[in-house]
Amino acid sequence: MDLMAAQSKINDLRNLLNQYGYDYYVLDKPSVPDAEYDRLLRELIELEEQFPELKSSDSPTQRIGGVILEMFEKVEHRTPMLSLGNAFNEQDLRDFDRRIRQIAGDDFSYVCELKIDGLAVSLRYEDGMFVQGATRGDGTIGEDITSNLRTIKSIPLRLKENVTLEVRGEAFMPKRSFEALNKAKEERGEELFANPRNAAAGSLRQLDSKIAASRNLDVFLYGIGNTGNTGIESHSEGLDFLDKVGFKTNQERRKCATIDEVIEYVNGWVEKRPNLPYDIDGIVIKVDSLQQQSELGTTAKSPRWAIAYKFPAEEVVTTLLDIELSVGRTGVVTPTAILVPVKVAGTTVQRASLHNEDLIREKDIKIGDQVVVKKAGDIIPEVVNVLAEQRTGKEKDFHMPTHCPECESDLVRLEGEVALRCINPKCPAQIREGLIHFVSRNAMNIDGLGEKVISQLFAEKLIEDVADIYKLTQEQLLALERMGVKSVSNLLQAIEASKANSLEKLLFGLGIRHVGAKAAKTLAQHFGSMDRLADASKDELLSINEIGDKMAESVEAFFEKEEAQELLQELKDAGVNMDYKGAKPVSAEESDSIFAGKTVVLTGKLEQLSRNEAKEKIEALGGNVAGSVSKKTDLVIAGEDAGSKLAKAQELSIEVWDEEKLLEELNK
Four-point Cα dihedral 409, 413, 414, 418, nearest 10: 140
CB 40 within 8 A of CB 13: yes
63, 205 Cβ separation under 8 angstroms:
no
For residue 144, what are the β-bridge partners?
134
**Cβ neighbours for 367, distance < 8 A, ≥ 6 positions apart:** 320, 321, 322, 323, 395, 396, 397, 398
Quickly count helices (H) and strands (E) in the chain: 24, 22
Distance (Å) of CA 513 to CA 187, 355, 403, 519: 49, 20, 21, 11
Is residue 357 within 8 A of residue 420, CB to CB? The reply is: yes
**DSSP letter, residue 346:** T
The SS3 of residue 435 is helix
Dist CA 43 CA 37 (whole Å): 10
Q: Which residues lie below 8 Å from residue 522, measured CB to CB, with a gap of 6+?
A: 544, 545, 546, 547
List Cβ neighbours of 25 (8 Å cut-off, separation of 6 or more).
Answer: 153, 154, 218, 248
Q: Centre a 10 Å sphere on the Cβ of residue 508 and count the other Cβ atoms it contains.
A: 25
Helix (H, G, I), strand (E, B) or coil at 371: strand
CA distances to 170, 174, 458 from 155, in Å:
11, 15, 48
C-beta separation of 396 from 402 below 8 A:
no
Three-state DSSP class for residue 622: coil
Rounded-to-5 percentages of helix, strand, coil across the chain: 40, 20, 40
Q: In one letter, which amino acid is 444?
A: M
**Running DSSP on this structure, what letter comes out for residue 481?**
T
Active site residue 115: yes
Q: How many residues does the chain have?
A: 668
Asked if 285 and 66 touch (Cβ cutoff 8 Å), the reply is no
Rg of the chain in Å (alpha carbons): 30
**What number of other Cβ atoms are within 10 A of residue 497's Cβ?**
13
Tell me the HSE value of 654 on the side-chain side, using a 13 A CA sphere. 25
DSSP string, 14-36: HHHHHHHHIIIIIS----S-HHH
User: Angle, to 10 degrees, between the axis of helix 175-187 and the axis of helix 196-204?
Assistant: 80
Q: Which residues contact 206 (CB under 8 A, 6 or more apart)?
A: 148, 212
- DSSP state at residue 275: G
Distance separating alpha carbons of residues 237 and 306, to the nearest angstrom = 17
**Gap between the Cα atoms of 149 and 141, Å rounded:** 17
Assess contact for 645 and 611: CB atoms under 8 A: no
Torsion angles phi and psi, residue 148, rounded to 5: -75, -40
Q: Are 143 and 74 in contact (CB under 8 A)?
A: yes
Per annotation, catalytic residue among 115, 310, 366, 374: 115
3-class DSSP assignment, residue 368: coil
Residue positions annotated with a catalytic role: 115
